[in-house]
Amino acid sequence: MSTTSVDIHQPHGHPDDPHHQHHFATMEQQFDTSKIGMWLFLATEVLLFGGLFVGFGLMQARYPQEFVEAHEHLQRPLGALNTVVLLVSSFTMVMGVLSAQRNDKKKLVLFLILTIICAGIFLTVKYFEYSHKFEEHLLPPRWYHAQPGDTVKDPYTGQISHGYGTFFAFYFMMTGLHGFHILVGMILLAWIAVRAHRGEFSKEYYTPVDLIGLYWHLVDLIWIYLFPLYYLIK
Amino acid sequence: MEHTLTTQPHTGDRPRPAKNYLNAEKGIWSWMTTVDHKRIGVMYLVGVLSAFFVGGIFALIVRLTLLTPSHKLFGKVLITAQTYNRVFTLHGAIMVFLFIIPSVPAALGNFVMPLMLGAKDVAFPRLNLASFYLWVLGAVMAVCSMIFGAVDTGWTFYTPYSTTTDGAVTLMTMAVFVLGFSSIFTGINFVATVHKLRAPGIGWFDMPLFVWGIYSTAIIQVLATPVLGITLALLALERVFSIGIFDPKLGGDPVLFQHFFWFYSHPAVYIMILPGMAIISELIPTFSRKTMFGYRAVAYSSVSLALLSFIVWGHHLFVAGQSQLANVIFSALTFLVAIPSGVKMFNWLGTMYKGNISLETPMMYAISFLLLFAIGGLTGIFLGTLSTDVHLTDTYFVVAHFHYVMMGGTVIAFIGGLHYWWPKMTGRMYKEFWGQVGAVIVFIGFNMTFLTQFFLGSQGMPRRYYNYLDQYQPLHAFSTVGSWVLGLGLFLTAANLLASLRKPYDAPDNPWGGTTLEWQTSSPPITHNFEDQPVLEKAPYDYRPEPVAH
């Protein structure tokens, strides 16, 4: 409740810096605001996946034996490989942001491309995993075919329990949604790589690199939870 | 030149600027590509009012169908049971997802909130426009689902019915999914705006209470809506690919859907009511000429309602086979909601006490709100109590309760706020007399329609039923006649507001003597809101006389 009457008249628009939007007083305020926006968006992402995690947990409580047996049908080495790939990509992303902060355009572009390559490897591995599941009919309940090692029967129908298919329904939804985020991330990374190549970023303005970096780390983090959840349950 | 703004009531003593946000740029393209929060707010307003109109027509059809137990008018059956199910579903879905949720935040909030904070725009203007276009896309998808086979599940899309019925359920749920993202974008934008774009001198407790309400709402929009999104995505996948999550035939759990749905939709109830309360917190001090009683308590109560809203969803599942323990816990938590609601109610009354009350149209709506929300809130206690809820669940008592809160609360506050900010938004004054007549007719019509339904429900009339026993006919008929009175009142109000648009600009800058910053710019405001960066000099709602005017 200050009673000052300072005149802090701002001109509309800032011709000095084309990235500076007219409704922010300073670049710092603009950067902080963008970061708040990104963190809020990431919170919505956590809750989006959160619903699926809760659903998975409830179904695992309902079909514990089926879920343990079903997870044996996953290819654990491929899952582990993808975990390593994404961890490396998080490292290259951090190096990219650091390069932007250091005004090193060449290294920024290089690290962004390395991150995109890691994402590409991840999706390629995922493609082979998915093809395997489709061949073996490791699919949601309606299309699931009993595998050797599946022991639980439905007590009413005597058929193979629905739990196996439910495991794969969640597997496809969660890894599918995650894969979609990887794909979106690749597009965003390519977009900022092009902008970086054009020399649009500097240590004064690298907001998009920073924000997409945050997004990329969250996508990696979700996989860090997905991998033990699906591949390593006991 | 130093131009200092004061909190003295400005009543148009400054010349009206030649260019304002409405006429600065011309042509439909300048509107479609605008990033001005005021223009986006106006476009949202046109959108949500159109949705309100369509949803209202469906409501009138529902009431007309229930006029007689034979559903006949002039010897012919009005609509079949199948059509009836579709009509009440569309009424609910349109009103909830297309109208009430975006009504106050995205339309009025978009326009007013940055002005109240002395900001030039919201934090992310382009995201704001994107949010509007997503709303349009969602509306188009919802309309398409009406044309391609309609939806008859009720607005809650409960499984297993929604996974087995035919019709355009998948398209409708996708429409709501898109509308959810529109809502998330608005929420992200508003939270960031409140955190980072307050004018110099405006601390958290110098913000108008409207901003507190919108801020709390935005937090719920950000945190709850993604869960609805994933739930409806699962429902759509269940219908298309039979993934076996909600469908018991495939080992799924239909009650899980209810949990997921209400984990969003109960907080969504507060997305609807908090902005209504926020408007009332502006109207009451302004028209009582008195400082808000217990400003901090009202501000905190908005935030605590937002937090409580996340832990009471189970009270929608008392008869859905939830465990006794869960029922008791959710019932107890539900009662906690009464505390912040009561805090607000008594603070509003405390503000009015010994105030200098003037009964202009917005204040008449504010007083309607107090009466109707009191009834809506108190009947909520009946439904939160386990033993009475078992009898009242799925009856017209529930219908009456949530219409008292949603329509008697939010919609009445929305119309009050629309009258309050209409001069600011359009630069025109409506006819005060007809505004007051409209407010009275709406109040009478509303009570005729919905008070009746408490009696219907307590006598056992189930909700959503097409057929009913002859003994309920007098009350049903009375309620239907009430819906016509209500429709007349709303029609009159709309006509009065629209008629004012034909006049030249005649609104003063501060017609009500308000103390918040939006009244310190011209009516309508210029594109960048303020000539100079405003600086807050006094707390909001300070109606003590100024010792020395500038």
Nearest alpha-carbon partner for B226 in A204, A111, A50, A21: A50
State the complex-level ipTM: 0.89
Position B76 scores a pLDDT of 85
Least confident of A1-5, B100-104, B218-222, B462-466: A1-5
Q: Which of A4, A7, A23 sits opposite B119 (nearest CB)?
A: A23
Across B466-541, the runs of DSSP E, i.e. the strands, are: none
Q: Which residue of B has its CA nearest to A155?
A: B251
pLDDT of residue B472: 95
- Judged by DSSP in three states, B75 sits in coil
| Distance from C-alpha of A144 to C-alpha of A163, rounded to nearest angstrom | 10
Where does the pLDDT of residue B13 fall: very low under 50, low under 70, confident under 90, or very high at 90 and above?
Answer: low
Rounded to the nearest integer, the mean pLDDT of chain B is 92
In this prediction the pTM is: 0.92
Closest CA to A211 of A78, A31, A15, A65: A31
Q: How far is B116 from chain A (nearest CA, A)?
A: 15
Q: What is the DSSP string of B332-392?
A: HHHHHTHHHHHHHHHHHHHHHTT------HHHHHHHHHHHHHHHHHHHHHHHHSHHHHHHH
Inter-chain CB proximity B537 and A141 less than 8 Å: no
d(CA B13, CA B327): 60
Residues 6 or more apart whose CB falls under 8 angstroms from that of A60 comprise A67, A233
Residue B155 has pLDDT above 50, yes or no: yes
Beta partners for residue B462, in sequence order = B395
Residue B503 confidence (pLDDT) above 50: yes
Q: How far is A66 from chain B (nearest CA, A)?
A: 12
Quote the pLDDT of residue A1.
35
Given a contact cutoff of 8 angstroms between Cβ atoms, the answer to whether B79 and B65 are in contact is yes
In single-letter form, the type of residue at position B94 comes to I
Query: CA separation (Å) from B372 to B105, B369, B454?
Result: 21, 5, 13
> Domains of chain B by range and CATH?
40-364+506-520 (1.20.210.10)
User: Which region among B108-112, B217-221, B534-538 has the lowest average model confidence (pLDDT)?
Assistant: B534-538
Which H or E run contains B72? strand B72-73
Q: How far apart are CA A34 and CA A30, in angstroms?
A: 6
Q: Which of A10, A32, A51 sits opposite B231 (nearest CB)?
A: A51
- CA-based angle B309:B313:B317, to the nearest 5? 160
Q: Quick one: pLDDT at residue B507?
A: 93
A48–B222 CB contact, under 8 Å: no
Coil, helix or strand at residue B1: coil
Distance of CA A35 to the CA centre of its chain: 18
Name every chain B residue with its beta carbon within 8 A of the beta carbon of A47: 223-224, 226-227
Q: Which of B77-81, B278-282, B459-463 has the lowest mean pLDDT?
A: B77-81
Of A29, A48, A58, the CB nearest to B226: A48
Confidence of residue A220 (pLDDT cuts 50, 70, 90): very high
Query: Quick check: A40 contacting B, CB < 8 Å?
Result: yes
User: B136: closest CA among B229, B44, B42, B233?
Assistant: B44
Q: What is the pLDDT of residues B366-379, one digit of tens each?
A: 999 999 999 999 99
Q: What is the pLDDT of residues B237-256, one digit of tens each?
A: 999 888 888 988 888 889 99
Q: State percent of chain A over pLDDT 70.
A: 93
**Mean pLDDT of the residues in chain A:** 90
Tens-digit pLDDT profile for residues A187-196: 999 999 999 9
For B15-39, give one letter per residue: b (16+ CB within 10 A) or e. Answer: eeeeebbbebeeeeeeeeebbbbbb
Higher-pLDDT residue of A118, B17: A118
Please state, in angstroms and rounded to a whole number, the distance separating the CA atoms of residues B360 and B439. 10
The pLDDT value recorded for residue B543 is 84
Contact between B420 and B282 under an 8 Å Cβ cutoff? The reply is yes
Q: How far is Cα of residue B296 from the mean position of the Cα atoms in its chain? A: 23
Residue B547 pLDDT > 80, yes or no? no
CB atoms within 10 A of CB A232: 12
Q: What angle do CA B111, B103, B90 make, to 5 degrees?
A: 155
The answer to whether residue B401 scores a pLDDT higher than 80 is yes
pLDDT, one tens digit per residue, over B165-207 is: 888 899 999 999 999 999 999 999 999 999 999 998 899 999 9
Q: How confident is the model at residue A155 (pLDDT cuts 50, 70, 90)?
A: confident
CA nearest to A85, candidates A220, A222, A230, A225 = A220
Q: Is the pLDDT of residue B459 over 50?
A: yes
Is A26 part of the contact surface with chain B (CB cutoff 8 Å)?
no
Task: Give the pLDDT of residue B382.
Answer: 94
pLDDT at B549 over 60: no
The gap from C-alpha A53 to its chain's centroid, in whole angstroms, comes to: 15
- From chain B, the residues in CB contact with A10 under 8 A are 533
Contact B281, B348 (CB under 8 A): yes
Nearest to B226 among A21, A29, A44 (CB): A44
- Is residue A8's pLDDT more than 60? no
A58 reaches B (C-beta below 8 A): yes
Is there a contact between B173 and B232 (Cβ–Cβ < 8 Å)?
yes
What does DSSP assign to residue B314?
Answer: G
Q: Count CB neighbours of A127 within 10 A.
A: 11
What is residue A66's predicted lDDT score, i.e. its pLDDT? 92
What's the confidence (pLDDT) of residue A178? 97
For residue B7, name the pLDDT band (cuts at 50, 70, 90): very low
Give B227 to chain A, closest Cα distance, Å: 5
Cβ-Cβ contacts under 8 Å for A31 (sequence gap 6 or more): A207
Q: Which residues contact B145 (CB under 8 A, 6 or more apart)?
A: B151, B168, B169, B171, B172, B175
List A residues 192-211 in contact with B (Cβ-Cβ < 8 A): none
List A residues 68-127 in contact with B (Cβ-Cβ < 8 A).
Answer: none
Q: Alpha-carbon distance B121 to B147, whole Å? A: 38
| Residue B496 to chain A, least CA–CA distance (Å) | 36
CA atoms within 13 A on the CB side of B57: 5
DSSP conformation letters of A138-160: --SGGG----TT---B-TTT-SB
CA nearest to A167, candidates A194, A186, A188, A144: A144
B19 within 8 A of B527, measured Cβ to Cβ: yes
- Mean pLDDT on B140-161: 89
**Mean predicted confidence (pLDDT) in B262-288:** 94
With beta carbons less than 8 A apart as the criterion, state whether B306 and B221 touch.
no
Residue B101 confidence (pLDDT) above 50: yes
Q: State the smallest CA–CA distance between residue B511 and chain A in angstroms.
A: 24
**Token couple for B472:** 């309920």
Tokens representing residue B61 in the block: 């059809």
| Amino acid identity, position B337 | V
Strand partners, B395: B462
Give me the pLDDT at residue A15, please.
54
| B203 contacts on A by Cβ (under 8 Å) | 1
Give the up-direction half-sphere exposure of residue B50: CA atoms within 13 A in the CB hemisphere.
Answer: 11
Q: Which domains does chain A have, with CATH numbers?
A: 56-231 (1.20.120.80)
What 3-state DSSP class applies to B76? strand
